[in-house]
Amino acid sequence: MPRITAPAIGKLKGERKAVMITAYDATSARLADEAADMILVGDSLGMVVQGRANTLAVTMDEMIYHSRIVAQCSEKAHLMGDMPFLSYQTSPADAVANAGRFLKEGGVQSVKLEGGARSLPAIEAIVRADIPVMGHIGYTPQSEHKVGTGKVNRDADTLLKDAKLLESAGVFSLLLECVPADIAAAITKAVRVPTIGIGAGPGCDGQVLVFHDILGFNPDFKPKFVKQYFDFYGQASKALKSFRDDVVKGAFPGDEHSFK
């Protein structure tokens, strides 16, 4: 089955809401592929896979390792790689080289990178290399030491200006993170490319959430913008304790699990 292309994602604007889910490994890739138009191999893997406090230590090699697995275990969804910290900020040439590695080695079809006006040279260079780019404005986690964890620029003029700049640089879509709902709705009206929101209200053209947050992998992480659809941690903890009890009691394995 051919994967959904970047132009096909663009055409969803005004037709129906687009769905993006992150994935990092075989199981998350298979499940996300059943439900989403787009799979993002997010640098959030720094937190949800590696257990770190933020995304900053994630490397290009790690992103490519996870992208290759997700590419192998999904077939339909558009596949996007998230450019990690310092893979594009250093120079437009580095940005193109790393975006190119994502396509050539990671098997993705597009890349996402954070920042408005400041990321323009990198975005223009990647787009010139015919690599589709999703912009990412609002809260940009890679800048947390500069702006403060969770601190978002709420200035509507700057956000709108950044959105328009990125659109003219050629992004095929825009991720809006923790942008106030009214500003996100205004940006969505003002640009021709689809906006994908996370904590940016219902006025966006689509929504993204992190796989682990949708499924409740971390009982201690419940930000306002997440709707948790499953208690994975609670259910998994119960199941593993039942296994333990069965082993201790001698109730597992039974005859049905044993070879004659």
Active site residues: 177
Cα 183 to Cα 175: distance, rounded to the nearest angstrom: 13
Piece in contact with ligand KIV (CB under 6 A), picked from 9-17, 37-45, 103-111, 162-170: 37-45
Give the torsion through C-alpha atoms of 162, 163, 169, 175, to 10 deg. 120
DSSP conformation class of 151: -
Contact code string over 14-33 relative to ligand KIV, x by CB under 6 A: --------x-----------
Q: Which of residues 42-81 bind ligand KIV (CB under 6 A)?
A: 42-44
- Under rule CB under 6 A, residue 167 binds ligand KIV: no
CB contact at 8 A, 24 and 43: no
Which of 35/252 has CB closer to ligand KIV? 35
Range in contact with ligand KIV (rule: CB under 6 A) among 35-43, 147-155, 178-186, 215-223: 35-43
Smaller CB separation from ligand KIV, 43 or 167:
43
Count of residues that interact with ligand KIV, criterion CB under 6 A: 10
Binding to ligand KIV by residue 171, rule CB under 6 A?
Answer: no
Residue 213 makes contact with ligand KIV by CB under 6 A: no
Residue 137: CB minimum distance to ligand KIV, A:
11
Q: To the nearest whole angstrom, how small is the minimum distance from the Cβ of residue 10 to ligand KIV?
A: 19
Q: Give 52 or 128: the residue with its C-beta nearer to ligand KIV.
A: 52
| Rounded least distance, CB 120 to ligand KIV, Å | 19
Torsion over CA: 33, 37, 40, 45 (sign): negative
* Cα 76 from Cα 1, distance rounded (Å): 6
Q: Does 37 bind ligand KIV (CB under 6 A)?
A: no
131 versus 140: smaller Cβ distance to ligand KIV: 140
Bond before 202 cis per omega within 30 degrees = no
Residue environment code for 51-71, b if the CB has 16+ CB neighbours within 10 A, otherwise e: eeebbbebebebbbebbebbb
CB of 55 to ligand KIV, least distance (A): 6
Residues 48 and 27: beta-carbon distance below 8 Å: no
Q: Which DSSP string do the residues of 83-144 spell out, in sequence order?
A: PPTTSSSS-HHHHHHHHHHHHHHH--SEEEEEBSGGGHHHHHHHHHTT--EEEEEES-GGGH
Write out the residues near ligand KIV by the rule CB under 6 A.
Answer: 22, 40, 42-44, 82, 177, 198, 208, 210
